[in-house]
């Protein structure tokens, strides 16, 4: 990765790949939190992959954590409009208290 002040023109494909892949990894747990009762599955391997990928494009652990949080919010934003598809296929009820409560419970702020 380029250092501070160096051009990042050559790494856009890497950043885009990391973003897309982390959104995909987050989407499993976020989807479980949104659409299923109870807590989402631990998915420790997904969390480890998220950290590894975010560390490729972030300059510090805090920046990697913020990048992962951004990707989790992005996953929720992509999943919410498709709720009707999931609910119809699996005949799932809406969560009591709505999605904001569910997302806060799993630590996603938006």
Q: Please report, for the chain, the start and end positions of each structural domain, with discontinuous segments joined by +.
A: 10-105
Per residue in 74-87, pLDDT (tens digit) is: 999 999 888 777 76
In 5-96, alpha helices (H): 12-35, 44-57, 61-79, 83-90
Per residue in 3-48, pLDDT (tens digit) is: 778 887 888 899 999 999 999 999 999 988 888 878 888 899 999 9
Cβ within 8 Å of residue 66, ≥6 positions away: 58
């Amino acid at each position: 990765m380029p250092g501070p002040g160096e051009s990042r023109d050559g790494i856009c494909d890497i950043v885009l790949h990391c973003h897309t892949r982390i959104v995909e990894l987050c989407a499993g747990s976020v989807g479980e939190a949104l659409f299923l009762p109870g807590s989402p599955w631990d998915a420790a391997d997904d969390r480890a992959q998220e950290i590894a990928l975010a560390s490729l494009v972030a300059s510090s652990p805090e920046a990697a954590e913020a990048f992962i949080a951004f990707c989790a919010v992005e996953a929720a934003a992509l999943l919410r409009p498709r709720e009707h598809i999931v609910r119809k296929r699996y005949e799932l009820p809406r969560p009591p208290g709505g999605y904001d409560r569910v997302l806060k419970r799993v630590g996603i702020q938006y």
